C-alpha cells in the first residue's frame, strides 16, 4: 500500500508566526489578508486559495530555518517562484505556509571555461543568458515566459521552451543542486560536472514540483552561441499539411533548434495584439522553424527544409537571418498566450504531448472536441516534439463554464494518452492534472512514485495534494474564486 499524503490541522498560528519572525525578521513575514491576495494563485488563475502566511527568505540558511519551523509545528508548506506556472503547482492549500523564493535573485558564480553558472532560484530565466551573452554563451531552455519565470520554478516543473527539440528541457541543463529537504536539512545533489557517480538524485529532483524539497542553489550548464542562425516561416492552407511537413522534416533526420506551429485562430489573435505584420492572416497554419550551427550547415539545412515544406504544400516561405528579423518572427509566438486575453476574459491551457506522426489526426480531434463542447480552441505548440498547448477560451463569470472547460481539457489529455502520448510536456502536473495520472500510469507505477516521495518527504508536508492523486483531491469538486477563502480540491 502506498504511503498516504496528510495535511495536518493547525490549531493556532500565533506561535508559528512568532517563530518565523524571530528567525527571519518581521519584514520577511507576510500575514495581513490584503497582502496575501498577491499569493493566492499562480498562472492557473481560475483557482485561488490564500495561504495562512507567506515568508520571504534570502538565503539557503533562511529557507532551511523556515522549513524546520514548518516541520516542528507540522504545517504544510508550498514553495513558489515567480508564480508563472500553469498547472497550479504553487497554488497554496488551506492553512499552509507559502515559502516564496522571489527575493533570492543572485547569480552566484559564472565559470565560462567550464561552461556553467550558479544561480539562486529566484533568478529570472532570461537573466542567465544576459549574464553570459557578452562572452558568446547562452542558456538553452527558453519557456515563452522566460522574461518573467524563475529558474527555481523551471527546475520544479522541468520546463522546456522553443529550443527543447534540439537541446532538451531543464533537466538536461542542470548539473547540480543545493536543496533544503522537507525536514530542513541542507544537501547537495549532483555536482559541477555532468556525470556524477551514485544515484541520479538531481534527475529525480528536477520536475518533482516542490514535493521533495526546495532548491536554493542551481548549477546550470551554458552553451556556446552558434555561429549562424536562420528562422523560416512557412504558411499552409491546411493544418494537416503543416503537420505532415513537421513529420517530413524529422523523418529526414533534420533536428531544428526549434519548430513551432500556430493555427489560423491563434496567428490572427497575435497579429491583432502584437502586429508583427509577418504572419499571413489567411493561412490555416504556420510553421516557425529555427536552425543553427556552422554557416554552411545552416544554409544547406535551410534549403532542405524549404524543399520539404513546399513538397507538403507550403504556399510561401520567409527566411530571416538578421537578428531583428528573427526576433520579429518569434515575437508573435512568444506572445500567443497573452494575445488570448484580448479575445476572451479567460482561457484554460493544456499541455499534452503526442507522437509527431499523430499531429494531423489529433488536431482534427481537438477541433471536433471543441465543437462538441461548444468552445473555441486555439492551437499553439512545440510541433517538433509534439508538445501541444491548446488554449480553450471561456468566461469564468458564467456559472458552469469552468467545469465544462475542465471536461474538455480532460478529454484532450485522454486523447493524447490514447495515441501514445503524455499528459504533460513542460507545465507539470500540479493540482490541475493530478487526477489524470491514473489514466497514464498503473497503480504500481503510482505507488512507486509515492514511495520515492515518502523517502524525501516522510511527513508529507512539502506541497501536499500536488502531482500524485489522492482519494480526497480526486473525489471532491473544485470551486473557482468567489468567497474570501474558497476551498480548493479537485480539478
Q: Looking at the DSSP assignment, which residues form a beta bridge with residue 220?
A: 117, 174
> All 3 cell numbers of residue 37?
491576495
pLDDT in tens, 275-295: 888 999 999 999 999 999 999
pLDDT at position 479 is: 37
Rounded CA-CA distance 142/16 in Å is 38
pLDDT at 486 over 60: no
Rounded CA-CA distance 260/385 in Å is 9
> All 3 cell numbers of residue 281?
492572416
Strands 228-236, 53-55: pairing is unpaired
Distance of CA 36 to the CA centre of its chain: 24
pLDDT at position 274 is: 86
pLDDT at position 471 is: 67
pLDDT at 487 over 90: no
Q: CA-CA distances (angstroms) from residue 185 to 80, 181, 458?
A: 19, 5, 13
pLDDT at position 144 is: 87
Rounded CA-CA distance 162/208 in Å is 22
pLDDT at position 374 is: 96
pLDDT in tens, 26-80: 999 999 999 999 999 999 988 899 999 999 999 999 999 999 999 999 999 999 9
pLDDT at position 373 is: 97
pLDDT band for position 9 (50/70/90)?
Answer: low
Rounded CA-CA distance 86/89 in Å is 8
pLDDT in tens, 281-334: 999 999 999 999 999 999 999 999 999 999 999 999 999 999 999 999 998 888
pLDDT at 366 over 60: yes
pLDDT in tens, 404-463: 999 999 999 999 999 999 999 999 999 999 999 999 999 999 999 999 999 999 999 999
pLDDT band for position 342 (50/70/90)?
Answer: confident
Cell numbers 517563530 correspond to 19
Answer whether 79's CB lies under 8 Å from 101's CB.
Answer: yes
pLDDT at position 448 is: 97
pLDDT in tens, 253-269: 999 999 999 999 999 99
Q: What is the mean predicted confidence (pLDDT) over 188-197?
A: 90
pLDDT at position 488 is: 34
pLDDT at position 354 is: 95
Q: Looking at the DSSP assignment, which residues form a beta bridge with residue 462?
A: 77
Pick the more confident residue, 196 or 5.
196
pLDDT at position 43 is: 92
pLDDT at position 482 is: 35
Q: What is the mean predicted confidence (pLDDT) over 368-387?
A: 93
Q: Which of 366, 395, 404 is nearest to 265 (CA)?
A: 366
pLDDT at position 87 is: 95
Rounded CA-CA distance 422/83 in Å is 24
Strands 53-55, 97-100: pairing is parallel
Answer whether 415's CB lies under 8 Å from 361's CB.
Answer: no
Q: What is the mean pLDDT of the chain?
A: 92
pLDDT at 252 over 60: yes
Q: Which of 302, 333, 332, 334 is nearest to 318 (CA)?
A: 302
pLDDT at 139 over 90: yes
Amino acid at each position: 500500500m502506498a504511503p498516504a499524503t496528510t495535511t495536518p490541522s493547525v490549531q493556532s498560528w500565533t506561535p508559528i508566526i512568532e517563530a518565523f519572525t524571530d528567525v527571519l525578521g518581521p519584514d520577511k513575514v507576510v500575514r495581513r489578508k490584503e497582502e496575501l491576495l498577491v499569493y493566492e494563485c499562480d498562472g492557473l488563475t481560475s483557482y485561488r486559495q490564500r495561504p495562512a502566511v507567506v515568508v520571504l527568505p534570502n538565503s539557503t540558511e533562511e529557507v532551511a530555518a523556515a522549513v524546520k519551523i514548518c516541520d516542528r509545528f507540522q504545517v504544510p508548506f508550498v514553495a513558489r517562484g515567480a508564480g508563472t506556472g500553469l498547472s497550479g503547482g504553487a497554488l497554496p492549500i488551506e492553512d499552509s505556509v507559502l515559502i516564496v523564493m522571489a527575493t533570492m535573485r543572485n547569480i552566484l558564480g559564472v565559470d565560462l571555461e567550464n561552461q556553467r553558472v550558479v544561480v539562486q532560484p529566484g533568478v529570472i530565466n532570461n537573466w542567465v543568458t544576459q549574464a553570459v551573452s557578452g562572452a558568446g554563451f547562452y542558456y538553452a531552455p527558453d519557456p515563452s515566459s522566460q522574461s518573467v519565470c524563475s529558474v527555481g520554478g523551471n527546475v520544479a516543473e522541468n520546463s522546456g521552451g522553443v529550443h527543447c527539440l534540439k537541446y532538451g528541457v531543464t533537466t538536461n541543463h542542470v548539473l547540480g543542486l543545493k536543496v533544503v529537504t522537507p525536514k530542513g536539512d541542507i544537501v547537495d545533489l549532483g555536482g559541477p560536472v555532468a556525470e556524477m557517480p551514485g544515484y541520479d538524485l538531481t534527475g529525480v529532483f528536477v520536475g518533482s514540483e516542490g514535493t521533495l524539497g526546495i532548491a536554493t542553489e542551481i548549477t546550470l550548464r551554458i552553451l556556446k552561441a552558434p555561429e549562424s542562425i536562420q528562422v523560416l516561416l512557412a504558411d499552409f492552407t491546411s493544418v494537416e499539411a503543416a503537420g505532415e511537413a513537421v513529420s517530413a522534416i524529422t523523418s529526414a533526420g533534420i533536428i531544428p533548434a526549434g519548430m513551432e506551429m500556430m493555427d489560423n485562430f491563434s496567428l490572427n489573435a497575435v497579429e491583432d495584439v502584437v502586429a508583427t505584420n509577418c504572419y499571413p492572416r489567411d493561412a490555416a497554419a504556420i510553421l516557425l522553424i529555427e536552425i543553427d550551427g556552422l554557416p554552411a550547415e545552416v544554409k544547406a539545412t535551410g534549403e532542405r527544409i524549404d524543399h520539404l515544406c513546399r513538397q507538403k504544400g507550403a504556399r510561401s516561405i520567409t527566411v530571416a537571418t538578421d537578428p531583428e528579423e528573427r526576433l520579429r518572427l518569434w515575437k508573435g509566438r512568444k506572445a500567443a498566450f497573452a494575445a488570448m486575453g484580448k479575445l476572451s476574459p479567460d482561457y484554460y491551457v493544456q499541455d499534452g504531448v503526442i507522437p509527431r506522426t499523430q499531429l494531423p489526426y489529433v488536431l482534427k480531434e481537438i477541433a471536433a472536441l471543441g465543437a462538441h463542447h461548444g468552445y473555441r480552441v486555439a492551437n499553439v505548440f512545440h510541433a517538433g516534439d509534439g508538445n501541444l498547448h491548446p488554449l480553450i477560451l471561456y468566461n469564468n463569470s458564467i456559472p458552469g463554464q469552468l467545469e465544462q472547460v475542465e471536461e474538455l481539457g480532460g478529454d484532450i489529455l485522454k486523447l493524447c494518452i490514447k495515441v501514445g502520448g503524455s499528459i504533460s510536456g513542460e507545465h507539470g502536473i500540479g493540482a490541475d492534472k493530478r487526477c489524470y495520472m491514473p489514466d497514464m500510469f498503473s497503480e504500481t507505477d503510482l505507488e512507486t512514485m509515492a514511495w520515492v516521495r515518502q523517502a524525501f518527504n516522510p511527513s508529507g508536508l512539502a506541497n501536499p495534494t500536488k502531482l500524485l492523486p489522492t482519494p480526497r483531491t480526486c473525489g471532491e469538486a473544485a470551486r473557482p474564486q468567489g468567497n474570501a477563502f474558497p476551498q480548493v480540491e479537485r480539478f
